[in-house]
């Protein structure tokens, strides 16, 4: 789960990370009170959307004087922002953040992420911050440092000192940076984060080090024990179908094709997507009903896929291990009744009571095509959506 920049700053400041004073605004009139509270000469107005690259897209504006701030807030709220990290249609700005604007001396890049190779955390950092890090990685990879923390290990003071040294810091700035880095790492592990990316981490006028931008993502599986993080979820940032799927504990991702898929197990889902592609089709989604494919969850998943107007045909590929195929078939027929099925539906079931399941589908009275193999299923659904 992702959160907004201002929320990440709120969380990290509780761990002692140095963040600018600031406040979020949902409506223009709220800005005035906040300005008198902040009482700064210069304020930066920042669009809050789950995407980076806002600066170049007009989503970060340094303003002088209250009038300019209020005007900028008014313009930014409701604005559509398109950055390299949004889709082409962009995102609507519903919240903006007002924070103290600093005179920046230097910008660094600092990021903690979970490393799939080592199973531990990795810290990536660079002297060249503020800009597009992917570009630095490509053009001058030597400028990017990595520190791998062993699984179960911790970030120790000497690690932090190495980082600070490699960033070329000394004196007061080095001390401040070291303290901040240890705090960020503590926040990362305590909050079950999957990513905390600070770009830029900046040295400002009086040699203070301040976190000026922050992107944070969290492990969904740990949200049950991270209430303060879970409550930060901004539903406007998600696809409505994805939200509904999360409520039913389904793994659903919207894709660009026109064949709706429902499969149990991530491996079988991947294989099904591959075979669809092999026969010239494109999946409209990734839907893994995972674990126990109970008739209720199958029905909920089916209705979700069906509601997607991009879906021209559906393929269901389920292995009924613990669940019996006849129960799954019944769940599907009931869901077909509810939606008044009129899109092609190809079903391949395998496992316990598969014959009974197939009989139920054949006799349902709906245009359901039961098939026996994955090849047949993929070929059939690709053919039907092309009609």
Residues that bind ligand ADP (CB under 6 A): 20, 44, 46, 52-55, 60, 99-102, 104, 107, 130, 199-200, 212-213
The answer to whether the CB of 165 falls within 8 A of the CB of 206 is no
3-state secondary structure at position 114: strand
The answer to whether the CB of 261 falls within 8 A of the CB of 346 is no
Q: Residues in the chain, how many? A: 387
The H or E element that residue 195 is part of is: strand 193-204
Where does 146-218 have alpha helices with state H?
A: 157-166, 171-190
Q: Which is nearer to ligand ADP, 41 or 117 (CB)?
A: 41
Q: What does the DSSP assignment read for 10-67?
A: HHHHTTT-----EEEESSGGGHHHHHHHH--SEEEEEE--S-S-TGGGT-EEEEESHH
Does 48 interact with Mg ion (rule: CB under 5 A)?
Answer: no
Say which of 197, 252, 306, 330 is annotated catalytic. 197
The answer to whether the CB of 109 falls within 8 A of the CB of 128 is yes
Does 199 interact with Mg ion (rule: CB under 5 A)?
Answer: yes
20 binds, among ligand ADP, Mg ion, none (CB under 5 to 8 A by kind): ligand ADP
Q: Which is nearer to ligand ADP, 107 or 288 (CB)?
A: 107
CB of 57 to ligand ADP, least distance (A): 8
Say which of 102, 109, 185, 306 is annotated catalytic. 109
Verify whether residue 26 is a known catalytic residue.
no
CB of 49 to ligand ADP, least distance (A): 9
Does 327 interact with Mg ion (rule: CB under 5 A)?
Answer: no
Which residue's CB atom is positioned nearest to Mg ion?
A: 213
CB of 111 to ligand ADP, least distance (A): 12
The answer to whether the CB of 343 falls within 8 A of the CB of 314 is yes
CB of 233 to Mg ion, least distance (A): 22
2 binds, among Mg ion, ligand ADP, none (CB under 5 to 8 A by kind): none
Does 83 interact with Mg ion (rule: CB under 5 A)?
Answer: no
CB of 64 to ligand ADP, least distance (A): 12
101 binds, among ligand ADP, Mg ion, none (CB under 5 to 8 A by kind): ligand ADP
Verify whether residue 109 is a known catalytic residue.
yes
CB of 86 to ligand ADP, least distance (A): 11
Q: Which is nearer to ligand ADP, 17 or 155 (CB)?
A: 17
Does 213 interact with Mg ion (rule: CB under 5 A)?
Answer: yes
CA separation for the pair 179, 161 (Å, rounded): 10
Q: Which is nearer to ligand ADP, 20 or 295 (CB)?
A: 20
What b/e readout covers 82-93, taking b as 16+ CB neighbours within 10 angstroms? Answer: bbeebeeeebeb
CA separation for the pair 193, 111 (Å, rounded): 12
**Interacting residues with Mg ion (CB under 5 A):** 199, 213
Annotated catalytic sites, by residue? 109, 197
């Amino acid at each position: 789960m992702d959160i907004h920049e201002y929320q990440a700053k709120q969380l990290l400041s509780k761990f002692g990370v140095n963040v600018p004073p600031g406040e979020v605004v949902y409506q223009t009139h709220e800005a005035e009170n906040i300005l008198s509270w902040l009482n700064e000469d210069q304020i930066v107005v920042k669009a809050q959307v789950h995407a980076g690259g806002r600066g170049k897209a007009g989503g970060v504006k340094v303003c002088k004087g209250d009038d300019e701030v209020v005007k900028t807030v008014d313009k930014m709220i409701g604005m559509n922002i398109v950055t390299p990290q949004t889709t082409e249609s962009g995102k609507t700005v519903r919240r903006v953040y007002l924070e103290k604007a600093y005179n920046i001396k230097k910008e660094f890049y600092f990021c903690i992420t979970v490393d799939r190779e080592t199973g531990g955390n990795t810290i990536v950092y660079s002297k060249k911050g503020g800009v597009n890090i992917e570009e630095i990685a490509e053009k001058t990879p030597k400028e990017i440092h990595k520190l791998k923390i062993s699984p179960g290990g911790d970030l120790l003071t000497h690690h932090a000192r190495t980082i600070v040294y490699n960033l070329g810091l000394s004196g007061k700035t080095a001390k401040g940076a070291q303290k901040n880095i240890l705090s960020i790492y503590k926040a990362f592990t305590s909050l079950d984060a999957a990513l905390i990316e600070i770009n830029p981490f900046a040295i400002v006028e009086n040699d203070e080090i301040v976190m000026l931008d922050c992107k944070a993502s969290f492990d969904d599986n740990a949200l049950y024990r991270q209430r303060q993080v879970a409550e930060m979820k901004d539903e406007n940032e998600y696809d409505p179908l994805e939200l509904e799927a999360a409520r039913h504990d389904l793994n659903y991702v919207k894709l660009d094709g026109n064949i709706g898929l429902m499969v149990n197990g991530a491996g079988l889902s991947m294989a099904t997507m591959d075979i669809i592609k092999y026969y010239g089709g494109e999946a409209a989604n990734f839907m893994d009903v995972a674990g126990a494919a109970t008739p209720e969850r199958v029905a909920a998943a089916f209705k979700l896929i069906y509601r997607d107007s991009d879906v021209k045909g559906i393929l269901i590929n389920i292995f009924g291990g613990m669940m019996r195929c006849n129960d799954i078939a019944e769940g599907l027929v009931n869901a077909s009744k509810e939606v008044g099925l009129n899109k092609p539906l190809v079903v391949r079931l395998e496992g316990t009571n598969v014959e009974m399941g197939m009989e139920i589908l054949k006799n349902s009275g709906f245009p359901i095509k039961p098939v026996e193999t994955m090849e047949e299923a993929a070929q059939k659904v690709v053919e039907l959506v092309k009609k």
